Chain A
Amino acid sequence: MEFSPRYHHTAEQLHSEQLIIEAAKQNPEHFGPLYDKYYKQIFGYVYQRMDDKDTAFDLTAQVFLKALTNIEKYEFKGVPFASWLYRIAHSEVMQLFRNKKNLKTINADIGDLRHICEEVEEEYMEQYKGILMTVIKELPADDLTLVEMRFFEKRPFKEIAEILDITETNAKVKLYRILERVKKTLTKKSK
């Protein structure tokens, strides 16, 4: 399984981004390059978790407005600015789902389900599709977020950890436990 490198930056890129952030703290007009750079990624993150495209666009706008409003508080911690935006997006999405639970959807490809099977060392079979979908739907919100990020968005653990503000090891352990439960359910239900 290949993971998206879109998030990673070289030291030079991080420095360059930091300059823009510092300038944007002084003048919101300078926020433009960051907006251009991350708009698609943040929209993708939001829309991945819902069906309604318009709501996803509105929420994306809200994420950037929050970011711009709070940029003075932003502190560079050696990770891309995107992690901060994702955190805002995650918080906004979770807030929305708390108010409107019916908006939450899970979006995946068949290939993603195959990857989950590979991870739990089970050969993918057609009958697993429905079982896997049910198992995933029943996951607690935090666990579902981990599965979505790892398998449906193909994010590296480092990135997941930065977005969720947990350690990389913690992210791995949590996901391992989730997959153990998935494996048990698969074995049980396929019999």
Chain B
Amino acid sequence: MEPNFNLNRPPVSDEEINSKKDFGELVKTFKKQSIEKARSDVSFLKNKKVTYSAIIAGVAVVCTVTYFSVFKKEPPKEIAHDKITTKSQTNTNTPTSKPSNAFVAPPISKLNVPYTSYKVKAEQGGTIKHKSNSKIIIPKKAFVNKQGEDIVGDVEIRYREFHNQADIIAAGIPMAYDSAGVKSQLESAGMLDIRGYQDNEPVFIKPNKTITVEFASNYPEDRYNMYVLDTIARNWVYTGRDNSLADQKAKQAKLRGQHDAEVPANIETKKMIELQQQLDAIPPKIENEKLAYEKKVSQLPKASLPSKPMKATTGRPQFQLDVNYKEFPELEAFKNAVFEVGTENRNYTPEFSKITWTSAEIAEGPQKGKNYLLILKQGNKVEKLVVYPALTGANYDAALKTYESRFEEYKAGVARREANEKKLKEEFEAKQAAYVAEQKRLQAEMTQEQIRAQAEAARQLNQQIAGMSDNQKVTRVFQVSSFGFCNSDCPRAFPKGGSINPIFTINHGKSFVQPTIIYLVCVDKNLVFTYDNSGIAYNPGESYSVCVIAKDKAYVCDRETFGRCVVNKENKLPVKELDSYEDANSLKMALGI
């Protein structure tokens, strides 16, 4: 069958192609297919009775393990002391240490947090002071053996603490917390592991007794709960709210609160005083400039508007007057003018023209420059008339010409004044703007100085706090009723918002490591998230370092590198192997925490 032949078929758009891409579905299908394949392989094994070989191999392994267990030599017994003694153990394994699939499984044994060993007389009890300044208070007759019988004699207490993310990783402590199906991760304020032995046999805390541990914690916040680790149920068990900080917190809060209150109110540096003086001087300067500007404007010559000559109205009553032009210069243009009686004069009668007035005076009218008040007197009789200067014939023409010439002068005068006013205004505004800019600059400098001063005060406070002796740090009180791990924690949600599916590269990207476990370390919190070899979720606003374990080696991706990779959406994370496997501190330094 011959194929069809299409010419110039329209291409498929990138949008359409991309819309069909579904990598998640591909992986899902792949996994499903792999599971089905695995099942069919199991069926194959069963069908072919290969299981017999497996059983035989299994028996061989069990026999080998049993042989070593039976013939393994007992560890040497500790020499007894008549009082509490201490001894740091270099060997991190304890008689109860778990096989590699144990719930608490140090990923690299050399990094594991070692126990410190103490001895205490069981019948006397006592108080142990750990190197961290924590106190372990053991009541008398606190221990029983596995038969429930009271222990007499020396009991070895093995004790260790976990203060930071590196300790958690190094000791292989699982921090996942499942609260009735709600999964979270525990952020620790400090954790301890305490064990008791007599002759290398584990002892137990008597049911009605508790060991009190006054734990020197580096985390002063009062937001933690108490948990103990149930290694059988493989989960942390909530035992109650951690209220042990009440006194310490109050003390710290008082100190900090006093300081916080002081920082904004009392800090006033010499520079701040100088800046404030300069700032205070600016508003009066602006006001002075404004006054000077207004004065200059008021002093500018004002042009006076000439009066336009009015043509006499035929039939209107008029007066001919001798005018003193010095007194009324604007009337100079009205030389030879007559004064028309305005229609608004209700008191005027034609009789007025027949009266011989003994006095006729002219004064400013209601509309200055436009009309005048003619005051006529005869004996006691006084009449006031509003009159308008008006011209007739050639006088009007001449007056109009004079008016036009003066009006031009007036306009030029107005323009000059406006130009001068504008210039003065610009000068004033420029000076004002300069003062405002100076004011802003000084205010910004003031803010900077305030920030600097507050930061300096905070730095001094931190120095003060850092310089405190250990017993000034917060103390968390653990009441230990059974040996194992105790923790002061608060549950934290798993990170979300960003994810990366990293390939961990070494040797400048020339090769990669295949991690068995990945630790996402919150740099600013005592919090570690554990991932298997799949994607890592992270909160974009947080800082993280990453530690990966591969083939008994630890590799670290520092916070800067991790931050850069997630910002650039780069899935190849360069990691560096630890320089030293001396202890958990090596890891701590590499993680930058």
Contacts and interface: CB of A to CB of B under 8 A. Distances in A.
A and B: real partners? yes
Contacts of A28: 27, 30-31
A15 B510 CA distance: 8
Contact of B8 (A35, A102, A110): A110
B130 to A, nearest CB: 43
Interface in A28-63: 28-33, 35-36, 39-40, 43, 47, 51, 53, 57, 60-61
A104 B1 CA distance: 9
A182 B533 CA distance: 56
A27 interface: yes
A19 interface: yes
A36 B21 contact: yes
B5 A105 contact: yes
B88 to A, nearest CB: 40
A90 to B, nearest CB: 16
A15 B572 CA distance: 13
Interface in B510-547: 510-512, 514, 533-535
Contacts of A31: 23, 26-27
A129 B7 CA distance: 10
Interface in A100-147: 101-102, 104-110, 129, 133, 136-138, 144
A105 B501 contact: no
Contact of B3 (A33, A40, A61, A137): A137
A31 B30 CA distance: 11
B56 interface: no
B575 to A, nearest CB: 13
Nearest to B16: A53
B295 interface: no
Nearest to A53: B12
A36 B27 CA distance: 13
Contacts of A68: 26-27, 30
A42 B20 CA distance: 13
B502 to A, nearest CB: 9
Contact of A29 (B4, B9, B25, B534): B534
A161 interface: no
A105 B6 CA distance: 7
Contact of B501 (A15, A19, A29): A29
A64 to B, nearest CB: 6
A69 B32 CA distance: 11
B167 to A, nearest CB: 29
A23 interface: yes
A119 B231 CA distance: 77
B210 to A, nearest CB: 47
A27 B502 CA distance: 11
**Which size class do B's interface residues fall under?**
35 or more
A95 interface: no
B533 A27 contact: yes
Interface in B1-57: 1-9, 12, 14, 17-18, 20-23, 25-27, 29-31, 33
Nearest to B33: A69
Interface in A63-88: 64-65, 68-69
A108 B5 contact: yes
A186 interface: no
Contact of B21 (A35, A47, A129): A35
A138 B2 CA distance: 7
A23 B503 contact: yes
| Chain B interface SS verdict (over half) | mixed
A14 interface: no
Contacts of B4: 51, 104-106
A26 interface: yes
A29 B17 CA distance: 21
Interface string A7-29: 00000000110011011001111
A79 B512 CA distance: 21
A35 B20 CA distance: 12
B21 A107 contact: no
A65 B501 contact: no
B30 A65 contact: yes
A36 B12 CA distance: 17
Contacts of A110: 7-8
A32 B5 contact: no
B505 interface: yes
A29 B20 contact: no
B498 interface: no
Contact of B1 (A39, A64, A102, A144): A102
Contacts of B25: 61
A36 B20 CA distance: 11
A30 B573 CA distance: 13
B533 A26 contact: yes
B20 A109 contact: no
A35 B5 contact: no
Looking at A23, A102, A105, A136, the one whose CB has the most chain B CB atoms below 10 A away is A23
Looking at A16, A19, A101, A104, the one whose CB has the most chain B CB atoms below 10 A away is A19
Contacts of B26: 31, 35, 61, 64-65, 68
Contacts of B6: 51, 105-108
A65 B533 contact: no
Contacts of B30: 28, 65, 68-69
B571 interface: yes
B301 interface: no
A129 B5 CA distance: 11
Contacts of A32: 23, 501
A101 B3 CA distance: 8
Given A19-B503, A19-B509, A22-B512, A106 B3 contact: yes
A102 B33 CA distance: 30
Contact of B23 (A16, A36, A105): A36
Nearest 8 pairs between A and B by C-beta?
A104-B3, A105-B4, A23-B503, A133-B5, A101-B1, A137-B2, A57-B20, A106-B5
11 contacts: A22-B512, A53-B12, A61-B25, A65-B30, A65-B33, A102-B1, A105-B5, A109-B7, A110-B8, A133-B5, A138-B2
Interface of A: 15-16, 19-20, 22-23, 26-33, 35-36, 39-40, 43, 47, 51, 53, 57, 60-61, 64-65, 68-69, 101-102, 104-110, 129, 133, 136-138, 144
Given A60-B20, A65-B33, A106-B4, 15 more contacts: A23-B514, A28-B27, A29-B534, A33-B571, A39-B17, A40-B14, A40-B18, A43-B20, A51-B6, A65-B26, A105-B5, A109-B8, A110-B8, A129-B7, A137-B5
